[in-house]
Amino acid sequence: MKTREQLTDLISQMTLQEKIDMVHGNELFATKAVERLGIPAFRSSDGPRGVRKEFEKDTWKDIGLTFDYTSYLPCNTALAATWNRELARSTGQILGKEARGRGKDMILAPGINIMRTPLCGRSFEYMGEDPHLAGELAVELVQGIEEYDVSSCLKHFAANNQEVRRLDVDVEVSERALREIYFPAFEAAVTRGKAKGVMGAYNKLRGTHCCHNEYLLKQVLRDEWGFEGIVVSDWGGVHSTKEAMENGLDMEMSVTNNFDEYYMANPLKEAIEKGEYPIELLDEKIMHILTVMNELHMLDGERKSGSYNDIEDKQALRRTAEESIVLLKNEESILPLDAKKIKRLLVVGENANRRQAPGGGSAEIKALYEITPLLGLHMLLGGNTEITYHPGYYNMDIGNIWANTGDGENGQADSIDASVEPKKKTTPEEKKALEEKMNAKYLAEVLEEAKTADAVIYVGGLTHDYDTEGQDRADMKLPYGQDKLICELLHVRPDTVVTLLAGSPVDMSAWLDKAQTVCLHWYAGMEGGYALAEALFGRINPSGHLPETFPIHESDCPAVVLGEYPGGDKVRYGEDIFVGYRYYDTYEVKTAFPFGYGLSYTDFVMSGLQAVVSEANRVQVSFCISNVGDRAGADVAQIYVSDKFPKVKKASKELKAFEKVYLEPGETKKITLQLDERAFMYYDEKKGCFRVEPGTYSILLAKSAEEIVDVAEVVIA
Ligand code: BGC
């Protein structure tokens, strides 16, 4: 590795043009090398679910390689649903190894924005609604990625919580909500995870675009959190040379191929030549980039090589998919199904047979393979069960702004041009008429088949026509007329196993009370379909828990009730710190399923909670957890903190620690967790810092935000 002096010396040898080349894209996903001085180009790739396919250097045309198929990883919501730090670490390691294997220097992941509204199209790329859960997992992911001499890139910093007007919406949010809700996952990933990259968001915060927002990039990120890595813009997120130069951006990337005209290209060079900015300001940015390159061993030939599609990694990906499955309802213990008793299985629902990897926007993946639920069921059941599949509802892939333009080009360049109409293959009216016609036909067929099947599994939910970059959902309803189909199916077969694949909450109110069994799975990666089959047939015991509240209806959501969503030019976060369960809980609003919720095929008992305060307001929490059922399984013990007599407004409880615990039947484990002082702090806007309000706090041991099993009290000084 080079010393800082050597890097300074390197900078002193560079011409202005060479410096300029390093701070902006010269390809869609790379800067230009300074070959003369042995400084390579800096290559990045999306993204959160694996390494993206290769595009041409200057167009969004898929090159069509046969060797850029990669692992398709579970989306971040799935990962968050595991509540398992070890799996976040292994997912990061696979992502880092594959990024390196594909020759990348920075992987544009993880996405860690907080889910402010269930309708946000990119929720599936993020880790739910709680800053502590997202932060804990982000730290592991980042460290896993960076083990392979690849930089992570935390995105999108900050307050990037909707796709409606994503390029220019101006977020108005209190300092306290930023500090307590929207920042902590970024803060943890920077201060503890030591992330080497951060991506500025498209939106504005308090009037200034996040990619050149001095408060975010200089004051918070660099000065307060000590970030030493690279701040890269979102693609096309820069709007001013001056602001980008002065307010903390290091590298400008965009979606167009006029590379020399980028704000940080010729316009910056000319301004420097005119003396508008001191060269030292540019040198600072070069130092950030060289520091990361140096740490990634890009300058010394000592760099780790990666690899991709390793067989052994598939096991880890399968485990993550398995642990992400959330059992929401299982009355009459319909699940797990017994394969020996099922000679004829009917599988209904187009998601059973749909590959999800290619969708979603920049999170798309050219997967080496993807086991769909239907394939997974076939693989698991083998030759003794006859499986009949029926799509059940008609899903006409409507296409959206990201759809292929027909000449092999991906629509990403258009996606940041508000004047370009989404490329719909058909009008909404045509779509509706066709859907109704086909659905009526399908429904009659399905109901007939359902009468004679030994078991019926429904696999529906959302697709990346809905969970996607560039647009939010209009509501939480299941698309493609699924509610009607599920209702009718449950009428004929009340024992239908309803499974939903989605990256964000859906409204189940049309049929939830009639369903005996509901199981939620996500865009869970290339092994996802097999994991689902394993869960339904009891090969594994579901242990996923919701990383986000499932409200009954989108109009219940705090962003709508107390704040604004989607807003206009501005969006006011009037709900303040009351995001997700912090709102539903404090304001006593009924939910469909609470944050942290998830069932198992076995039963767990948690008891004996003790909380002991030591120096500096550190609290040691201990309790016992037992598996009192007859199957091995895992539960998530959740520790919430509640201020008994708050003098300032506070959520009635906040998650501050958690542990996923594996137990054999009859086994008991004693668990000890530590809370540090920050767990008892709130952000005092007047003083401009986190602060403890001395007093009595309840420590709640819980199975979800709504199921408290034990309470202890501590006095915090
Ligand atoms: C997205 C980013 C992505 C970038 C590069 C943008 O449209 O917002 O998340 O990393 O494109 O593809």
Mean pLDDT over all residues of the chain? 96
Tokens of 495: 């024992």
Query: What distance in angstroms lies between residue 197's CA and the mean position of ligand 1's atoms?
Result: 14
Q: How far is the CA of 564 from the centre of ligand 1 (A)?
A: 25
Q: What does the pLDDT look like over 282-339, one tens digit per residue?
A: 999 999 999 999 999 999 999 999 999 999 999 999 999 999 999 999 999 999 999 9
Gap between the Cα atoms of 94 and 91, Å rounded:
5
- For ligand 1, atom 3, which residue shows the shortest CA distance? 362
Cα 610 from Cα 701, distance rounded (Å): 10
Cα of 213 vs centre of ligand 1, distance in Å, is: 18
- In tens, the pLDDT along 51-67 reads 999 999 999 999 999 99
Contact 244, 265 (CB under 8 A): no
- Do 623 and 639 form a contact (C-beta atoms < 8 A)? no
Residue among 349, 374, 514, 518 nearest 446 (CA) = 349
Ligand 1 atom 2 nearest Cα: 234
Provide CB contacts within 8 A for 369, sequence distance 6+.
Answer: 526
Among the residues of 453-548, which ranges form H helices?
482-492, 528-536
Show Cβ contacts of residue 109 under 8 Å, excluding neighbours closer than 6 positions: 46, 47, 48, 95, 141, 145, 152, 153, 155
Q: How far is the CA of 191 from the centre of ligand 1 (A)?
A: 24
3-state secondary structure of 160: coil
236 C-alpha to center of ligand 1: Å? 9
| CA–CA distance, 107 with 439 (Å, rounded to integer) | 41
Cα–Cα distance, 642 to 675 (Å, whole number) = 13
Helix axes 266-273, 279-295, angle to 10 degrees: 130
Residue 655 tokens read as 């998650």
* Sign of the dihedral defined by the CA atoms of residues 412, 418, 420, 423, in that order: positive
**C-alpha to C-alpha distance for 385 and 567, rounded to whole angstroms:** 52
* CA angle, 683 then 581 then 205, to 5°: 50
What is the average per-residue pLDDT within 648-660? 98
What ranges in 31-84 are assigned the alpha helix state H?
76-82
Here the tokens at position 342 are 């099922």
Largest interatomic CA distance in the chain: 81
Which residue's CA is the closest to the ligand 1 atom numbered 8?
234
State how far the Cα of 692 lies from the Cα of 717, in Å rounded to an integer. 8
Ranges 211-215, 355-359, 418-422, 513-517: which has the least confidence? 418-422
> Which of 362, 415, 469 has most ligand 1 atoms within 8 Å of its beta carbon, as the pocket-test mutant?
362
Contacts of 69 (CB under 8 A, 6+ apart): 309, 366, 367, 368
Please give the Cα distance from 466 to 453 (Å, whole number).
31
**Can you tell me which atom of ligand 1 is nearest the CA of 46?**
10
Report DSSP state, residue 181.
I
Distance CA(360)–CA(686), nearest Å, equals 42
CA neighbours within 13 Å on the CB side: how many for 51?
33
Closest protein CA for atom 12 of ligand 1: 362
Place of tokens 């001013």: 240
Distance 415 CA to ligand 1 centre (A): 10
Pocket test for ligand 1, best of 234, 416, 471 (most atoms within 8 A of CB): 234
What's the CA gap between 555 and 222, in Å, rounded? 38
Question: Can you tell me which atom of ligand 1 is nearest the CA of 412?
Answer: 7
Ligand 1 center from residue 469 Cα (angstroms)? 9
Hey, which of 235, 400, 412 would you mutate to test ligand 1's pocket, going by the most ligand atoms within 8 Å of its Cβ?
A: 235
Percent of residues, the chain, with pLDDT higher than 70: 98
Position 408 scores a pLDDT of 67
Ligand 1, atom 4, residue with closest C-alpha: 235
* Residue 429 confidence (pLDDT): 84
Report how far residue 614's alpha carbon sits from residue 491's, in angstroms, rounded to the nearest whole number: 58
> What is the pLDDT at residue 665?
98
Q: How far apart are CA 180 and CA 576, in angstroms?
A: 10
Which single residue is written with the structure tokens 């309790």?
623
Residues 178, 180, 181, 185: is their CA dihedral positive or negative? positive
d(CA 131, CA 199): 18
**What's the rounded mean pLDDT across residues 373-387?**
97
Supply 326's token pair.
């959330």
Check the CA dihedral 672-676-677-681 and report its sign. negative
Q: How confident is the model at residue 403 (pLDDT cuts 50, 70, 90)?
A: low
Say if residues 115 and 504 touch (Cβ distance below 8 Å): yes
Ligand 1 atom showing the smallest separation from residue 111 Cα: 9
Nearest-atom number in ligand 1 for the CA of 155 is: 9
Site residues for ligand 1, CB cut-off 6 Å = 46-47, 108, 155, 234-235, 362
Q: Where are the alpha helices (DSSP H) in 357-457?
A: 373-381, 428-452
247 contacts: CB under 8 Å, gap ≥ 6: 208, 212, 213, 214, 217, 218
Cis before 373 (ω within 30)? no
**Which amino acid residue places its CA nearest to atom 11 of ligand 1?**
235
**CA torsion sign, 678 to 681 to 687 to 688?**
positive
For ligand 1, the distance from its centroid to the CA atom of residue 43, given in whole angstroms, is 14
- Structure pTM? 0.97
Residue whose CB lies within 8 A of the most ligand 1 atoms, among 43, 45, 46, for a mutation test: 46
Q: What is the pLDDT of residue 405?
A: 57
Q: Tell me the per-residue pLDDT of 404-440, one tens digit each, with 9 for 90 and over.
A: 555 667 778 887 877 776 666 677 788 888 888 999 9
What's the confidence (pLDDT) of residue 422?
63
Q: How far is the CA of 495 from the centre of ligand 1 (A)?
A: 43
Q: How confident is the model at residue 187 (pLDDT cuts 50, 70, 90)?
A: very high
Q: From atom 7 of ligand 1, which residue's Cα is the shortest distance away? A: 235
Partners of 637 in beta bridges: 659
Tokens matching residue 176: 């306290």
Atom of ligand 1 lying closest to residue 125 CA: 9
Interatomic CA distance for residues 682 and 174, integer angstroms: 13
Atom of ligand 1 at shortest distance to CA of 47?
Answer: 10
Q: Strand 654-663 relative to strand 633-643: parallel, antiparallel, unpaired?
A: antiparallel
> Which tens digits make up the pLDDT trace of 529-588?
999 999 999 999 999 999 999 999 999 999 999 999 999 999 999 999 999 999 999 999
* Cα torsion through 192, 198, 204, 209, rounded to 10: 130
The rounded distance, in Å, linking the Cα atoms of 230 and 95 is 19
166 CA: nearest ligand 1 atom: 8
Q: Residue 532: what residue type?
A: L
* pLDDT of 411: 78
Determine how β-strand 695-704 pairs with β-strand 707-716: antiparallel
Question: Which pLDDT band, with edges at 50, 70 and 90, does 396 fall under?
Answer: confident
Q: What atom in ligand 1 is closest to the CA of residue 362?
A: 12
The Cβ of residue 694 has, within 10 Å, a number of other Cβ atoms equal to 12
Q: Provide the token pair at 451.
A: 């009468």
How many degrees, rounded to 5, is the angle at CA 693 between CA 691 and CA 699? 110
The sign one gets for the Cα dihedral 643, 644, 648, 654 is positive
Contacts of 384 (CB under 8 A, 6+ apart): 339, 340, 343
**What was the pLDDT predicted at 685?**
98
Q: How remote is the CA of residue 234 from the centroid of ligand 1, in Å?
A: 6
pLDDT for position 589 = 98
CA distance 545 to 591: 15
Strand partners for 170: 204, 570
State the pLDDT at residue 426.
72
Task: Show Cβ contacts of residue 17 under 8 Å, excluding neighbours closer than 6 positions.
Answer: 269
pLDDT tens-digit series, residues 456-483: 999 999 999 999 999 999 999 999 999 9
CA of 609 from ligand 1 middle (Å) equals 45
Report the alpha-carbon distance of residue 549 to residue 596 in Å, rounded: 8
Phi-psi region of 490 (alpha: psi -120 to 50; beta: other; left: phi over 0): alpha
Atom of ligand 1 nearest to the CA of 202: 8
Q: Tell me, what's the pLDDT at 488?
A: 98
Active site residues per annotation: 234
